[in-house]
């Protein structure tokens, strides 16, 4: 993967992480409408399903998106409810990510490969592992986090865990299929489910969510109403209990007004029934003038209270009444055992009672004091005293009251009488008379209860005090009650929606499977129909073929009855016996058999019918219609029906004479091939043996022509020129014979490519420059612009053009002209015409053209030639996809037409070989020449003298050459192919295996010019393959190209 591809992959992963985080948080926030108080658990949390689907489709690399999305969601929740922190959000997010990763790994383990969710068993495993098992992770982590952070009470832990797990599980069951339909792969499986699964499931989820909202709203209203009814009932009961202590005060006051001066005994009898847990004390305080206090004391002592004494209370903070103020002295109080110390106390000296007492003395209604701490209890106990003035009936209305009836009340005991609410409602009693509320009774701290708690409050006029009584829930459980009431509906609705999703997945998957099965069955049916059609056609074709075989078989075939009567015979059998088919039908084959062979035929046929063997073969003789003997090989077999009973005989008859003639022809062919192989081997050996002396002859002749010390005379130059001319002619003859041999044996290999016809003609013409000058001829080229490029082998096209031009020069008149023209023909070929001004060819000569070694009567003339040049040229033209023909020229001369396939023109750069002038290189170079022929070695050393910078060592065999190479690596190796101890190819193979010599440049110098030998050498990495006799300019060009460009450095 390239760096750009890695960057794009990383960028795509980051975008997917961001999309997953935003989608997770966004969907979670939308689902908060379904949240069930008092925790964060949601009965449906599709974000869990989105996370699982995203990891299944996009891989585990996007799992950080789940962490980020969950953290964002929980931070928003914490901001709203003030119960979250970064640590809690991170831990819950980590749990959500681990849940998605766990679900992905589990599903991939049990459902490897492409996730299709087609089969019900696959859906069950997907839902159990992805929703049920994996959902345990996030629920456990989140519940522990909330519990440890104090956001969750202990009694709520199990409910919260269960709600969280259920929300994630149902979210996976609903959310995962929706997202899989959008991003699932393969696209062909999941995309069609968007309308059939995702859309219905999404609509069902929205409708279910709306229904859940309505149900929760209804349940909340019902819970609120139930709370208010419960609270109102509880408040009414509590109000009655609170006002109950006023009754004994009123009753006792009325009795005292009717019967004043009540004794202690009578008062105990009257007040005793009114004493209970709520009334701590019930008594009567007489109003007297301070000067009359002694009279009251004497009356009390006489009434059985010997310790009675009227007095002001002298505690810290008590009031010191004025001396002229009347006293209100406690005369009677019950129960005395707990309140006896209060007898004789002037109530007006008690600060918290003075104000209420004075108010009571001014009117006829009970007046309650503010709450104060009761002194008769060891523990701090709050109480309230209610006073009611007593005005005897016989007393004038304008006179002061005779005293007051009082009752000490404990508010906490008043509320304690109220039965506890089965709904867990609590009561709180407050005194708001003085502008600032004061708690009288109820749960400690209820005065500071939260305003958002469900509560009902009533106002109570308690003896002139403004009391407030509230009934409230300690927690805002109405939402929880509503959610709990809605839970069955929510669970059933969500589970039904999840089942709908699973059903839709199964149905669509089953539909896809059925469609695929239908397609497969349809394809199979079509294939079966096609196969039957093909079988029918094949049967018909087989029948036709059998009929054709029967009709055209080179052997005779005959069907007969069991008694040998002919039922059917093919033409070849009729031809053998020289009878028409009509004459053979019904005739027994025994009648056609030679009399001497009939007895054995009868015996063999009877054994065949008895089942002794399934067929038999024998050589027998037939007599044809003319009575001639036809020797055949007959194979007779019996045909049986399904029951194994014979019903016909089949005879296959082969004319042995034809077979014998075929064997003779095969032997003749093998002999011809052996002779051809021997000829090729002979020509190859002769080529090598002839090239070796030719190499020395032409090489030294070339060196003589270049020798300047002493210079050759003109006559000597002419002699060396004649030597070279004769040598090159002999080489051409050898090459022609070898080419003809290769063509005839099919061993000629061509490399066809685009060729520039004008350039090749100029090059060939330059090679024949000496002949042009000697015959004083000129070349006239007329090449059409659109007939320049041909498809041909470079070397072989040069060979054909050279042969045609050479013949046009040799068989032309002196001072004549050779015209070469080209044009494109409609067949897609280029037509090249070569015409001379010579005497032309007679009709007999034209008929003998293109015959090997036929010089058309020029054998005794002075013109050199072998008689195979035109034969080779025509065969080469045909191998290159063209042709070579002769056309009579108008007037005189001969015209040869060469046709070759046309080709498009490429850009080709020309390459010029350097000359043969003496030249030195920039530095000295070491060469090694492995050659066993001393003459060839001396010739090479003489040629290398033209390059003084080269120093060459000689080795006469392969082993010594390899040893020299290993001891000192030269810059170039010159190698002969046929060495006395080993083949040149073996030298190359060993050379390429040497670490320091594997890249050594090699030039092959060999008399073996066979193409397969050259191909094998080039496959081993030789730089060039030069054939003997050596062309000096070509050799020097290779050396210059090698050492001037620094290849060996």
The Cα 1020–Cα 1008 span in angstroms is 16
Residue in the block written with tokens 């039908």: 585
Average pLDDT of 212-226? 77
Q: What is the pLDDT of residues 832-865, one digit of tens each?
A: 988 888 877 777 776 767 776 665 556 555 565 5
3 state SS of 956: coil
The Cα 181–Cα 52 span in angstroms is 13
Q: What pLDDT does 797 receive?
A: 86
CA distances from 10 to 6, 23, 50, 928 (A): 6, 20, 21, 60
Q: What is the pLDDT of residues 689-723, one digit of tens each?
A: 666 777 777 777 777 777 666 777 777 777 777 67
Q: What is the pLDDT of residues 1004-1015, one digit of tens each?
A: 998 776 777 888
The Cα 273–Cα 281 span in angstroms is 12
Question: pTM of the predicted model, to two decimals?
Answer: 0.43
Enumerate domains of the chain plus CATH numbers.
Answer: 3-194 (1.10.1760), 259-411 (3.30.450.350), 420-475 (no CATH), 553-656 (3.30.450.20), 664-733 (no CATH), 749-901 (3.30.565.10), 925-1044 (3.40.50.2300)
Q: What is the pLDDT of residues 1027-1038, one digit of tens each?
A: 877 778 888 888
Sheet of 646-655: strands edge to edge?
A: 566-569, 556-560, 646-655, 629-640, 615-623
When the pLDDT of each residue in the chain is averaged and rounded to a whole number, the result is 82
Average pLDDT of 961-973? 92
Average pLDDT of 116-135? 85
Torsion sign over Cα 81, 84, 89, 95? negative
The Cα 598–Cα 592 span in angstroms is 9
Whether residue 922 has pLDDT greater than 80: yes
Q: What pLDDT does 487 receive?
A: 60
Q: What pLDDT does 873 receive?
A: 84
The Cα 923–Cα 505 span in angstroms is 84
Q: Token digits for 558?
A: 């005959």
Biggest CA-to-CA distance, the chain: 197
Residue in the block written with tokens 């008379």: 433
Contact (CB, 8 A) for 718 and 770: no
- Four-point Cα dihedral 490, 492, 495, 496, nearest 10: -120
Q: What pLDDT does 924 receive?
A: 92
Q: Token digits for 447?
A: 């005065």
Whether residue 444 has pLDDT greater than 80: yes
Q: What is the pLDDT of residues 31-80, one digit of tens each?
A: 765 555 444 456 778 899 899 999 999 999 999 999 999 898 888 877 76
3 state SS of 846: helix
Average pLDDT of 654-660? 75
Q: What is the pLDDT of residues 266-317, one digit of tens each?
A: 888 888 888 887 788 899 999 999 888 899 899 899 988 998 999 998 888 8
Give CA 204 to chain center in angstroms.
33
List the one residue out of 26, 46, 27, 99 whose CA is nearest residue 498.
46
CA distances from 950 to 928, 944, 1004, 1027 (A): 10, 7, 17, 21
List own/partner pairs for 260-267 with CB under 8 A and 24 or more apart.
260/390, 260/392, 260/402, 262/332, 263/303, 264/300, 264/303, 264/304, 264/305, 264/332, 265/304, 267/332, 267/334
What pLDDT band is residue 388 in, cutting at 50, 70 and 90?
Answer: very high
Contact (CB, 8 A) for 755 and 797: yes
Whether residue 527 has pLDDT greater than 80: yes
859 or 560: which carries more pLDDT confidence?
Answer: 560
Whether residue 745 has pLDDT greater than 70: no
For residue 593, the 8-state DSSP code is B
Q: What's the Rg (C-alpha) of the chain?
A: 66
Average pLDDT of 993-1011? 86
List the one residue out of 478, 471, 485 whose CA is nearest residue 421.
471
Q: What pLDDT does 490 receive?
A: 63
Residue in the block written with tokens 């080269």: 950
185 or 717: which carries more pLDDT confidence?
Answer: 185
| Omega of the bond leading into 710 within 30 degrees of 0 (cis) | yes
């Amino acid at each position: 993967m390239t760096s750009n591809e890695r960057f794009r992959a990383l960028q795509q992963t980051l975008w997917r992480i961001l999309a997953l985080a935003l989608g997770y948080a966004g969907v979670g926030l939308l689902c908060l409408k379904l949240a069930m108080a008092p925790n964060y658990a949601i009965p449906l949390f599709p974000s869990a399903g989105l996370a699982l689907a995203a990891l299944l489709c996009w891989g585990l690399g996007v799992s950080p998106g789940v962490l980020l999305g969950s953290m964002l969601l929980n931070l928003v929740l914490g901001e709203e409810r003030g119960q979250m922190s970064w640590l809690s959000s991170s831990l819950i997010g980590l749990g959500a990510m681990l849940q998605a990763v766990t679900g992905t790994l589990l599903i991939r383990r049990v459902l490897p490969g492409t996730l299709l969710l087609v089969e019900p068993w696959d859906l069950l495993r997907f839902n159990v592992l992805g929703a049920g098992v994996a959902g345990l992770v996030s629920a456990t982590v989140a519940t522990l986090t909330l519990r440890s952070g104090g956001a969750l009470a202990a009694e709520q832990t199990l409910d919260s865990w269960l709600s969280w797990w259920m929300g994630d599980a149902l979210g996976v069951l609903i959310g995962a299929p929706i997202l899989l339909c959008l991003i699932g792969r393969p696209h062909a499986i999941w995309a069609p489910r968007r309308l059939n699964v995702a859309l219905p499931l999404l609509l069902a989820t929205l409708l279910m969510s709306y229904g859940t909202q309505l149900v929760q709203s209804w349940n909340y209203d019902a819970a609120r109403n139930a709370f208010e009814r419960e609270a109102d009932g509880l408040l009414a009961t509590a109000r009655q209990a609170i006002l109950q202590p006023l009754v004994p005060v009123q009753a006792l006051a009325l009795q005292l007004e009717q019967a004043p001066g009540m004794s202690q005994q009578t008062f105990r009898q009257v007040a005793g029934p009114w004493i209970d847990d709520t009334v701590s004390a019930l008594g009567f305080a007489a109003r007297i003038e301070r000067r009359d206090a002694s009279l009251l004391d004497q009356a009390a002592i006489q009434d059985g209270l010997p310790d009675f004494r009227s007095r002001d209370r002298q505690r810290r903070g008590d009031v010191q009444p004025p001396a002229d103020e009347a006293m209100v002295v406690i005369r009677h109080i019950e129960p005395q055992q707990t309140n006896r110390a209060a007898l004789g106390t002037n109530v007006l000296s008690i600060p918290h009672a003075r104000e209420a007492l004075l108010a009571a003395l001014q009117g006829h209604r009970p007046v309650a004091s503010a709450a104060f701490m009761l002194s008769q209890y060891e523990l701090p106990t709050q109480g309230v005293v209610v006073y009611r003035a007593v005005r005897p009936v016989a007393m004038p209305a304008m006179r002061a009251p005779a005293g007051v009836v009082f009752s000490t009340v404990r508010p906490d005991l008043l509320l304690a009488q109220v039965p506890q609410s089965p709904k867990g409602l609590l009561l709180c009693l407050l005194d708001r008379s003085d502008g600032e509320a004061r708690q009288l009774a109820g749960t400690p701290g209820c005065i500071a209860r939260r305003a958002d708690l469900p509560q009902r409050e009533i106002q109570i006029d308690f003896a002139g005090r403004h009391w407030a009584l509230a009934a409230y829930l300690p927690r805002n459980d109405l939402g929880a009650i509503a959610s709990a009431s809605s839970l069955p509906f929510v669970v059933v609705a969500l589970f039904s929606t999840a089942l709908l999703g699973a059903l839709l997945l199964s149905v669509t998957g089953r539909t896809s499977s059925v469609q695929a099965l239908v397609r497969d069955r349809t394809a199979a049916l079509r294939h079966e129909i096609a196969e039957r059609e093909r079988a029918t056609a094949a049967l018909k074709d087989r029948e036709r073929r059998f009929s054709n075989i029967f009709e055209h078989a080179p052997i005779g075939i005959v069907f007969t009855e069991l008694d040998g009567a002919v039922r059917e015979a093919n033409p070849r059998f009729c031809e053998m016996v020289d009878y028409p088919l009509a004459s053979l039908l019904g005739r027994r084959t025994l009648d056609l058999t030679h009399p001497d062979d009939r007895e054995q035929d009868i015996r063999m046929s009877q054994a065949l019918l008895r089942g002794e063997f399934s067929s038999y073969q024998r050589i027998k003789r037939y007599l044809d219609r003319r009575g001639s003997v036809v020797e055949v090989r007959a194979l007779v077999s019996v045909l049986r029906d399904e029951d194994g009973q014979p019903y016909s005989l089949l005879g296959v008859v082969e004319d042995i004479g034809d077979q014998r003639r075929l064997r003779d022809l095969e032997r003749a062919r093998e002999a011809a091939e052996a002779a051809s192989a021997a000829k090729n081997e002979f020509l190859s050996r002769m080529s090598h043996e002839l090239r070796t002396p030719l190499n020395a002859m032409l090489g030294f002749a070339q060196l003589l022509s270049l020798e300047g010390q002493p210079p050759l005379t003109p006559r000597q130059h002419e002699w060396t020129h004649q030597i070279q001319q004769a040598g090159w002619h002999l080489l051409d003859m050898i090459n022609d014979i070898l080419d003809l041999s290769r063509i005839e044996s099919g061993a000629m290999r061509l490399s066809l490519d685009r060729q520039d016809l004008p350039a090749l003609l100029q090059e060939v013409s330059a090679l024949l420059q000496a002949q042009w000058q000697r015959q004083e001829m000129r070349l006239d080229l007329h090449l059409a612009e659109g007939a320049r490029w041909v498809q041909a082998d470079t070397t072989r096209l040069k060979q054909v053009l050279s042969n045609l031009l050479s013949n046009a020069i040799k068989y032309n008149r002196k001072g004549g002209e050779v015209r070469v023209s080209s044009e494109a023909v409609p067949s897609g070929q280029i037509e090249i015409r070569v015409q001379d001004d010579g005497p032309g060819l007679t009709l007999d000569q034209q008929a003998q053209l293109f015959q090997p070694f036929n010089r058309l009567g020029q054998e005794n003339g002075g013109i050199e030639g072998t008689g195979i040049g035109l034969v080779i040229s025509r065969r080469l033209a045909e191998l290159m996809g063209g042709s070579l023909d002769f056309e009579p020229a108008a007037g005189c001369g001969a015209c040869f037409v060469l046709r070759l396939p046309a080709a498009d023109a490429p850009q080709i750069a020309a390459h010029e070989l350097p000359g043969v002038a003496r030249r030195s290189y920039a530095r000295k170079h070491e060469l090694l020449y492995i050659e066993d022929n001393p003459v060839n070695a001396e010739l090479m050393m003489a040629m290398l003298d033209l390059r003084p910078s080269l120093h060459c060592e000689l080795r006469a065999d392969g082993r010594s050459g390899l040893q020299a190479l290993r001891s000192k690596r030269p810059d170039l190796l010159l190698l002969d192919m046929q060495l006395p101890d080993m083949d040149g190819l073996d030298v190359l193979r060993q050379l390429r295996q040497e670490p320091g010599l594997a890249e050594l440049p090699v030039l092959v110098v060999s008399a073996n010019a066979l193409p397969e030998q050259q191909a094998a050498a080039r496959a081993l990495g030789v730089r060039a393959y030069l054939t003997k006799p050596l062309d000096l300019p070509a050799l020097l060009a290779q050396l210059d190209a090698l050492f001037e460009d620094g290849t060996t450095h």
